[in-house]
Structure 1
Amino acid sequence: METTTNLVVNRQVRKRSNLWERIRYHKYFYIMLIPIIAWYIIFCYVPMYGVTLAFKTYDFSKGITGSPWTGIQNFKDILNDSQYLSSLKNTIIISFGKLIFHFPIPILLAFLINQIAGQKMKKLYQTVFTFPHFISWVVLGGIITNILGSQGVYNQIIGLFGFESSSLLTSPSFFRPLIYITHIWKEIGWDSIIYLAALAGINPELYEAADMDGASRLQKIGHVSWPGIKSTVAILFILTVGLMMNVSFDQIYNLYSSPVYDVGDTVDTYILRTTMSVGSNFGLLAAAGLIKSVASMFLLLFANFVVKKFGEQGLF
């Protein structure tokens, strides 16, 4: 028994020594991680004490730590708020819509760009598709308003043909498709970069072997390209699902208005609007944000579980 115990202890000691040896060997890489770790600690973990506000009634004179506890009353109140429930429903619908309509398109775009023979043309198409990502939603929102607003280009054109003008931006039936289309147009090129990088890492000899076997382009995509990037797709799918509740705040805030609150108001915009109102209950809004965060955690765990069920390695 003592011999077995000594072996276990010695093995643990060797593991710890090997770990510190690897850390010392790669010390410069760990040094480069220090700013990132510090950023997460300062801006992500330290402020987490503010979560306690969800269980309190905030008192400006006492601060967060001195405010009185109310238990789960804030959660009961927020779940009885019809506007919050509507914003939660819209958040889920818009998030799933973006996942369904947007997520596969950058993958297809990466496959298409990868099929282009010339490197210069590849870079040209990649630049053209990536450029919209760098346009601010404030600027893009102004452009879209000038095109689709009540006095925009669209209404001026249809007015020339005798049609009645209408503001598409205030149309509840058109708002969500507008969100999907503009998001795809703006982010498709940027999101395809990581897939292009994964495709570039595939061994060219695999394509040469496929050519010798007489494989078509579609067959090479199905049997060489897709297996080479599916692990990357799986990881990005998990991250995308985990961030689903964080719908693009900038996009919606710059495009929506009161006529489309019923279909476009999300949790983030609801919290902002309510916070800006006089006499806001910050404990109530903290509870709303905490519900969203907990939902995001469960979505992340679910996506990781699904990816593992399909035989891929998840995040954990």
Structure 2
Amino acid sequence: MRDIVDDLLRVWHSGRIGAMATLVRTFGPAPMPIGSAMLVDPDGRVFGSVSDGCYESAIYDAAIHSARSGRKELQRFDPNTGMDSADCGTIDVFVEPFSRNDFPEFPAVAQDLAGFKPVTVFTVVWHSDPTVIGQHLVTDRRHNTELVALPESDVFCCSFAAAPRLIIFGANAFAAALCVQGRQLGYRVTVCDARQRFAADQSFPGAEVIVDWPHRYLEAQAAAGLIDYRTALVTVTQDPKFEIPLLTSALQLPEFGYLGALGVGPAHDQRLAALHSEGFDTDTLTRLYTPAGLDLGASTPMETAVAIAAEILAVRARTPSHHTGPFPALT
């Protein structure tokens, strides 16, 4: 839902009726994660997806029928469903009309997502009383994203954690390109540079721009508890007076998700020598990815940003996370 929230808001504010399909359960491997959503707007246009091409026509038809009939229904799609499903697995999708009357709580969800706050949406996808199906409960309590079977109903819990942070130190073309990649991956992006003439908001649309010494900003954020195991830190400035104090502060943090520094050749060698002189041993320096980015043959800022984003994803995939919470009652 996060990736189509603006499209959902547009339909909600229009006063018209569209339909939303949500992937709530899969049987076996699936290319789309549980909770993926697809919107069919009142003009029949599609935003988002719940599959990789399987069942697209059948799910679209089910969404159109839901918007026109008002029916809210949990539907199963399997290889017997239609022409585009011969090689597909089995999935359960909840289809519901979407409008301000059908989902009055949605602006609160959108506001939390825009504010990078955690939010969970509980939706009754089956109930012994059909009038209860489609009811939503919005809460800030965290829960696994999953379908929960209760004695008289099935409830789908779709949980959105606060967006992970990508903090880029240095305001230049590489930072601007990495901002684009970070936003596409769902990161809350911050650009920090001590040089006010370079740290212009309009140069980094969609990012928070901070004018401060990088190490001082990082230390303040860490002291406030705003750096965690999901936070990606990347320095794209190769000026030692900014970079070495920053990396010194970063390597002393108890946790972060990723720490990368751009620069090869002499800049890379001088960086490591400076950090060794600061007392960091070889084991500690393994926490630093330098030069930042997978070896994809990148040369331009955008290519380099893709390489760094790929490395962040690879590191993130190796980081365990266990975040569950209690299941609140639906009343």
TM range (shorter): under 0.3
Structure 1 length-normalised TM: 0.21
Greater strand fraction, Structure 1 or Structure 2: 2
Task: Report which of the two structures shows the higher radius of gyration computed on alpha carbons.
Answer: 1
Higher relative contact order (CA 8 A, sep 6+): 1
Structure 2 length-normalised TM: 0.21
